[in-house]
Structure 1
Amino acid sequence: MRLARAVDGALLAIAVFIFLFIVLFPFYWIVLSSFTPKYELFTIPPRYWFSTFTLENYQVLANSIPLTRYFVNSLLFAAGSSLVSVAAAFLASYALARIQFRGANLIFIVFVMSIALPQIGGLVPLFELFKNTGLINTYHGLVILMSSLVLPFTIWILVPFLRQIPYEIEEAAIMDGARLPHLFWFITLPIMRPALVTMFIINFIIAWNELIYPLVFATSGSNKTLSVGLVELAVQPTAGGGRPWDLLSAMSIVMIVPILIVVLLFQKLIVSGLTRGAIK
């Protein structure tokens, strides 16, 4: 019995090690490449540790693209779309979870089914619509687009969360003379705060990594995001005819590190918010 447990423990440890290696090694290699001089990236045999540590890749990156502008654009794009989507989803979820009207379940099902629609399928009509309304190359246009993309998923999470809140709490407040704005602000919102913060963080991560919408709807340099900058670097010609892997690695780190910090800081909140809203 002890031998069997020891074998099971050893196999589990080996499996976990292999899984972590597969997941973490690409990230480690990007970090290594971002601080390695370009002429050492393709040495044979490859080097798995820093032989020459340099910040030159980041300096060249900052001179190749407007890095600060792209970073600010990504921050505004992700934060704005997350705020709008969570606010709109909260109102829609409250109506679907609390107000009894014909077709409420059907509307909720339509929202859930829309999550499976391919994003690229609506690019052409959306581009024509935004072009005619003057929303191309605008911050609010990108925020509207991204908010509409993550809105169904946000509603799908918030509706079950709201349904778990006893309605008797709101009934007691109504009996005391509270009106709908007071219910929202003083009763429902404090209870929903963990779920709302969780969805804001998740939507922020999704928007930060979004490529298709900024690539198609932000063609001017003043509105491009980091993901678009990564594509621009990938298609830049180099002396040897290949890709500038040194700059691509540095750009990848610039994009990954902020999200990694957010996930590490709020991982417990993200998991608890998702599970509390999706279990029931």
Structure 2
Amino acid sequence: MALHSATLTCLQVFNAIVEQGSFSKASERLNLTQSAVSHRLKQLEEITGVVLIHRTTRYIKITDAGQRLYNQSRLNLAELERTLTSLRSTSAAPLSLTTISSLATKWLLPKLSEYNQEYPSQPLSVLTDDNIIDLKYEGIDAAIRLTDVNDPSLHMSFISDEWVFPVASDVIAKDRELIDCPKKLFDFPRLVDVIAERGTDESSWKGWLLSQGLSFPNSQMEQNFNRTDIALQATAAGQGVAIARASLVETDMLEMKLFKQVGRAVKMKYSYYFVCPHEKAENPEIINLKNWISKELKTSVSRVKQQLIY
């Protein structure tokens, strides 16, 4: 006998009756009327040619034939659901997400396993680029951007503000009071992200020193890098002092304690936004990704922010 879709539906209703112990509870679980539940059971009994459940005004009693059918169908339906889940997982096209390399390296990649556990059927492809990418032209689903620009051509959702501050390893900061004496930072090599230094915002040495009423000294040794995450690696190795962002140092500063704050924290003019094309904003997978990133990134920044000196 071929298993038609109607038979499968009847089996699901029958299993719900057995598991819930009543027609009324089964109807609530399945969001069906009690008459619809009764009708499905009657259909299944006509298909099998046997009575599956004895029903009285006070209780139900499953027959021997009904118990045999329930035991077998429960296993088969569970296996079917596992197969369908597996097929959905393997056939789902990965979502593509782009962000700046420093955030991808220091924050996103270490947390990807948590995302994959929460959304196993929703794979994510991560692309890094320190330039603004045209999402529609490149066919990319979404981005995390650190910006102060509102782009009306895209759906933008605020995630978190950002804070910057100088950091150094214990090799440099040990036994030295640097927070209240920022000029003492000039005694150590300055580790510079040359990309950030092109601007005058607080993530550059130029911008941070200006916020403290200071300017570059003529004599300080300087080591240049083209990425903030590389400058932070050099900092952890004791090579000098770098400007850090709160989002990048949750693990290095709070958990591994590779370096610590050595200058007052300043709020950036830029904030983090989740960005995607308008036509994708209501996509359930995009909404899941946005909510996960917003929750996790906000938490990471908040954890570091609570430990900072301003």
- What TM-score comes out, normalization by structure 1 length? 0.24
Find the structure with the greater CA-based Rg. Answer: 2
Q: Which protein is richer in helix relative to its size?
A: 1
Structure ranking higher on relative contact order (CA contacts 8 Å, 6+ apart): 1
- What TM-score comes out, normalization by structure 2 length? 0.22
